[in-house]
Chains A and B, each alone.
Chain A
Amino acid sequence: DAGVIQSPRHEVTEMGQEVTLRCKPISGHNSLFWYRQTMMRGLELLIYFNNNVPIDDSGMPEDRFSAKMPNASFSTLKIQPSEPRDSAVYFCASRPIGGYTFGSGTRLTVV
């Protein structure tokens, strides 16, 4: 079991550019979550999917953020256009019934 796999591990981009973060959940886990961690706000949920369907996206900061899960083994979080305040660590997590398993995160820096 390779765990939850996120890519890239680090991303540095210029303000205004599009950023795409990727996540491969653990096989068989039917729920997938995107979290963001900042010093000011800690860990906060952005969006989650059940069986590839978005269930709650109320944590998505604004329309610049979008997430998709085209199949059970892949999800993306896209920011377009990116802004310096989007700089954070973005985590993906998945779970069956029970505990959550987190990926290693993507550290995003927007300059």
Chain B
Amino acid sequence: GIQVEQSPPDLILQEGANSTLRCNFSDSVNNLQWFHQNPWGQLINLFYIPSGTKQNGRLSATTVATERYSLLYISSSQTTDSGVYFCAVRTGANNLFFGTGTRLTVIP
């Protein structure tokens, strides 16, 4: 199956700092999503972004499908941004393959 690699695995930020999370995938995809799993375990959809760039408040994402990677930018981080960020991709079938995640801790 497709391989989805995320980096860094862990990230600690001071509140107010910016960060970039990366997702590399091993094959062509027709769906890519970024999720935030909060400390209560909920999986929150951040972006549906098979290609291009999107922005939502302090978050933005860019997917370069031809080069098989996606980036998630978090600006002016807040403690509520803490949690695990997952990249997930879908190829031709319906299965959404998840990366191993980036665990973000924002300290005040």
Measured CB to CB, the residues of A under 8 A from B are 31, 33, 42-45, 48, 50, 55-56, 89, 91, 93, 98-102, 104-105, 107
Contact = CB atoms under 8 A, between A and B. Distances in A.
Q: Is the interface of A mostly helix, strand, loop or mixed?
A: strand
Contacts of A105: 41-43
B41 A42 contact: no
B96 interface: yes
Contacts, number: 43
Nearest to B37: A37
A33 B48 contact: no
B41 A89 contact: yes
B96 A56 contact: no
Q: Is the interface of B mostly helix, strand, loop or mixed?
A: strand
Contacts of A31: 94
Q: How many B residues touch the partner, as a band? A: 10 to 19
B33 A43 contact: no
Nearest to A97: B31
13 contacts: A42-B100, A43-B86, A43-B88, A45-B95, A45-B96, A50-B94, A56-B93, A89-B41, A98-B48, A99-B45, A99-B48, A100-B45, A105-B41
B98 interface: yes
Interface of B: 31, 33, 35, 41-43, 45, 48, 86, 88, 93-96, 98, 100-101
Given A45-B95, A48-B94, A102-B42, 6 more contacts: A42-B101, A43-B86, A56-B93, A56-B95, A99-B48, A100-B33
A37 to B, nearest CB: 8
